Amino acid sequence: MNINQYIDHTLLKPTATITDIIALCNEAKTHKFHAICVNSCYVALAKAELKDSAIKVCSVIGFPLGAMSTEAKVEEAKQALKDGADEIDMVINIGFLKSKDFDAVWKDIEAVKKTITHTVLKVIIETCYLDTIEIIKASELAINSGADYIKTSTGFGSKGTTIEAVQLIKGVINNCEVKIKASGGIRDTKTALEYINLGVSRIGTSNGVAIVTNTLNNTNNY
């Protein structure tokens, strides 16, 4: 198994510098990760650093709270595409979901998907804040709104992904073509393999190097 091809090598800390992003890209090239994942302000830099590689550039949108206007998310997504983003990871409006304003959640996701058309869209539902029924509903809304992936977590919530959350999402997806990205708290090879064996197609982690080299990393972040 080429575990490196499951990994979105990630750096989303607010303190991330230009030097840090360049280092992230170099690590991705060294270990041939599937993608790197950065905040939208760094998409152009990452694209330039990875121009001679097959590594995708993923930009987060509405990150990490998801609580900005739909228009703001759409404009951020537009700019990320202009700067060279190959994939978009957007955060749903969690407050709307918990208010049971499901139309608003749907329209929020749909507006971004319509903007990016055929670009891969991963919809972050932030499972740590949701109960079982909300995880199921959020997954249904993501699927019906055009998501290519359902992503469990931002890594900035109260906790990251769980096996139970992935199993719930997997049950909703059933036989449709939507995939799962597990993220938040995946820091070692054993844990990454547990999620891959469960059926996830992508792992979001800032510990990609530790995972592919099977070394321990106790850093408490994404």
Whole-number pLDDT of residue 218: 57
b/e sequence 150-185, b meaning 16+ C-beta within 10 Å: bbbbbbbbeebbbeebbebbeebbeeeebbbbbbbb
Identify the bridge partners of residue 149 per DSSP, sorted by sequence position.
122, 179
Query: How many whole angstroms separate alpha carbon 183 and alpha carbon 192?
Result: 10
Q: Please state the domain extents for the chain.
A: 3-213
Query: How many whole angstroms separate alpha carbon 126 and alpha carbon 151?
Result: 8
Which CATH entry fits the domain spanning 3-213: 3.20.20.70, 3.30.70.100, 1.10.1510.10, 1.10.10.10? 3.20.20.70
Whole-number pLDDT of residue 1: 74
Question: Torsion over CA of 4, 76, 142 and 211, rounded to 10 degrees?
Answer: 20
Locate the DSSP E strands across the chain: 7-11, 35-38, 56-61, 87-91, 120-124, 149-151, 179-183, 202-205
Residue ranges for the chain with pLDDT beneath 70:
217-222
Residues designated as active site: 89, 151, 181
Whole-number pLDDT of residue 51: 96
Residues 46-81 pLDDT 10s: 999 999 999 999 999 999 999 999 999 999 999 999
The pTM assigned to this predicted structure is: 0.96
Whole-number pLDDT of residue 175: 86
Contacts of residue 180, Cβ cutoff 8 Å, sequence gap at least 6: 149, 150, 151, 152, 166, 169, 170, 173, 199, 200, 201, 202
Return left, alpha or beta for 204; rule: phi > 0 is left, psi -120 to 50 is alpha, else beta. beta
